[in-house]
């Protein structure tokens, strides 16, 4: 597979109105791509100005009768906690949805997949469904790049996470913005420097730019590529960072461990097209400002 030489490569982005998808659509559109969005939920971020058109459909059953230079498959369900009680829903959406999108490609289509760092220690049905999807991609796609995303956070100031908060920085930003009374730390007895889980975090704009770099340079065809900062932070460190950037001393409760959470996830096989331009402070500050904007404070 060679680099794309089209003047305006044509890219399909699934999950286009979601948190990551909206940022990806914006980056691609601003860099001259023809962007086609696909989503089952059009009531998240308004991406109308970042796409040439959008398809309202479910990735599990859609039949897109056209050719693309690349498909960026972001659509899926992502809650570790929910997956523990609804495993069939996670396999159906994340695995069967991926298999259906693979049926849309030809040998020249670059298939880019959003997997998870949870795949390194797959304890939840969510992580296991992503690993299964990775396996099928390697079997069926001639040209592919599998990205294992670490915890994605922050905002470009326009697009943001919608719906119920499930990730640490978003939850902390709600507390800092005063829309959540308190938050919990799930477990303080892990084998880490302060007893709380360690995770890597990446700003959503840096991630979107890395996806554009992958489209521009072509398929990697490796087992996976990581997108993360390369730095691990404990849950307590992230919360303290949010408190500092927002000048807010919100309430934090210590509770028991949560099923499906490994103690530490660290980066490996970093994608060479990733350029880190945002810090943890930037992620927390922009997430906090997004919550203020969501609630009409800004």
What confidence category does residue 5 fall into, taking pLDDT thresholds of 50, 70 and 90?
A: low
What confidence category does residue 251 fall into, taking pLDDT thresholds of 50, 70 and 90?
A: very high
Q: What is the pTM of this model?
A: 0.91
Confidence (pLDDT) at 180: 96
Query: For residues 31 and 1, which has the higher predicted lDDT (pLDDT)?
Result: 31
Residue 126 designated active-site: yes
Mean pLDDT, rounded, of the chain: 94
Ordered by start, the domain boundaries in the chain are: 10-294
What confidence category does residue 1 fall into, taking pLDDT thresholds of 50, 70 and 90?
A: very low
Q: What are 228-238's pLDDT values in tens digits?
A: 988 899 999 99
| DSSP 8-state code for residue 274 | -
For 128, the enclosing helix (H) or strand (E) is helix 125-140
Q: What are 91-125's pLDDT values in tens digits?
A: 999 999 999 999 999 999 999 999 998 899 898 99
Supply φ then ψ for residue 277, to 5 degrees: -125, 0
The yes-or-no verdict on residue 266 having pLDDT over 80 is no
Exactly one of 91, 126, 144, 190 is catalytic; name it: 126
Whole-number Å distance between alpha carbons of 256 and 263: 13
Architecture of the domain delimited by 10-294: 3-Layer(aba) Sandwich (3.40)
Confidence (pLDDT) at 105: 94
Q: What are 154-171's pLDDT values in tens digits?
A: 999 999 888 888 889 999
Residues 6+ apart with CB under 8 A from 43: 17
């Amino acid at each position: 597979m060679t680099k794309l030489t089209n003047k305006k490569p044509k890219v399909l982005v699934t999950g286009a109105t979601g948190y990551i998808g909206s940022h990806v659509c914006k980056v691609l559109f601003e860099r001259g791509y023809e962007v086609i969005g696909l989503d089952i939920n059009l009531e998240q971020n308004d991406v109308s100005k970042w796409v040439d058109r959008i398809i309202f459909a479910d990735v599990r059953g859609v039949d897109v009768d056209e050719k693309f230079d690349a498909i960026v498959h972001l659509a899926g369900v992502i809650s570790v906690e929910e997956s523990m009680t609804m495993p069939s829903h996670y396999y159906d959406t994340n695995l069967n949805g991926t298999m259906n999108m693979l049926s849309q490609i030809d040998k020249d289509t670059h298939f880019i997949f959003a997997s998870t760092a949870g795949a390194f220690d797959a304890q939840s049905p969510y992580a296991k469904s992503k690993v299964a999807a990775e396996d099928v991609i390697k079997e069926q796609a001639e040209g592919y790049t599998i990205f294992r995303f670490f915890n994605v956070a922050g905002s470009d100031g326009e697009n943001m996470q919608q719906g119920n908060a499930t990730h640490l920085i978003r939850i902390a930003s709600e507390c800092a913005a005063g829309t959540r009374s308190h938050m919990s730390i799930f477990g303080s007895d892990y084998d880490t420097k302060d007893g709380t889980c360690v995770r890597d975090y990446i700003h959503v704009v840096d991630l979107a730019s890395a996806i554009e770099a992958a489209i521009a340079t072509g398929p990697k065809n490796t087992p996976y590529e990581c997108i993360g900062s390369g730095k691990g932070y404990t849950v307590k460190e992230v919360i303290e960072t949010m408190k500092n950037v927002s000048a807010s001393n919100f309430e934090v409760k210590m509770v028991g461990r949560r099923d499906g959470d490994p103690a530490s996830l660290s980066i490996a096989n970093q994608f060479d097209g990733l350029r880190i331009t945002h810090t943890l402070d930037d992620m927390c500050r922009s997430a906090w400002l997004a919550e203020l904007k969501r609630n009409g404070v800004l």
